[in-house]
Structure 1
Amino acid sequence: MPARLALLVLLLLGGARAQSTSSTIIAEPEPVLRDGLYATFGVGVVDVDAGSGVDVPLGFTLFASRIRAMLTVSALDLGLLQRKEEGNSRYLRIFDARTRTDFCVDSSNGQITSYNRCSGDTDVLRSMSVDLNFLPVTELYVADRLGAVHVGLGARAFKPRTLYGTLGMFFPSESGRAIGAQLSMGREYIFFGMKWGLDIRRISKWL
């Protein structure tokens, strides 16, 4: 009888230990979105009435998943644009079907000239923008990384001055780093690009 009782106690202890181990595995914390204020840097392509090219927005993003909101302020939106050709341009591109190449012709004298003259000039475009977004999805997983989908409205200060709609994704992390992608479309304005962010609180700890 004592032997059976001891065996029963051992079995109960073993079961309790196994249950405790199982509970520990189940109780592992799930990944959560890291809210915070991020300093952001972006690179993308932009198309406006003045031309198209590379756009580099610099600013801040306030990410608040608890209230399903995200605010982005681009204090400096720097674009390097290739100016669109005008209809009365002096230099014209001509395509030769025989050689399947194109060349540049000076319309004032009909002579072939340097191809660089047919390339549009590069303009530097400076602007500012603000957009406010709603987070309809806060459990988006891409490559085991938790993020959120955002949609919203924004306003661009100038060149062009316009309202625009936004659609994108934002992925903050426990390390304080973030990555995102965004499409913005408005009157005479289209932007698509990536942006990277760093939590301001992490920057202050490093300084």
Structure 2
Amino acid sequence: MEQLLLERSGNKCELCQSAAALKIYEVQPQTSHPEDNTIVICDKCIAQIEKTEEADLKHLGFLRTSIWSAIPGVQVVTWRLLNRLKGESWAVDSLDAMYLDEETLAWAQAGADEDNDAVEDIHKDCNGAPLQAGDTVVLIKSLDVKGSQLNAKMGTVVKNIRLVHNNTDQIEGKIEGQTIVILTKFVRKQGA
């Protein structure tokens, strides 16, 4: 079956058309037609589908063309990714242009994210670079710390930050030995 799928795909990712690092991917939940619900995709697309890396809107631009695929598995994955990106006007337009028969739509909905409208909990700096616990950031603005005489000057380096759970706009870090909460819009990831 792998050879049939590679021939069908032309040895390219059936989503983004990349020829790099191709894998056979089973679109869940499986139906009774394995050739329809198994597709050939690249590692980058797998990472986007499985959310093992942050959504890459530039890469996901392929969704504008994959909506026209006749392969049910590609249709289902495309529909699910577009629903995840409902905050983007181009994604909404692509969803509106897309047609799925009832059976394929039911399959797409059956394996869709439980909360399609949820924004992924990713802390980002002022430039949109993802922040992780332990990163080092630089203040891009001088900040007065509430309830303290401390004034954190622009350019101050804050090492080993902690992410504030349930609030992607805040991180914690130590400045002059004092742990403070800092808004992510006032920091730049060092090296970014």
TM norm. shorter chain > 0.5:
no
Higher strand share: 1
TM-score by length of 2: 0.27
Return the structure number with greater helix share. Answer: 2
Q: TM-score, normalised by structure 1?
A: 0.25
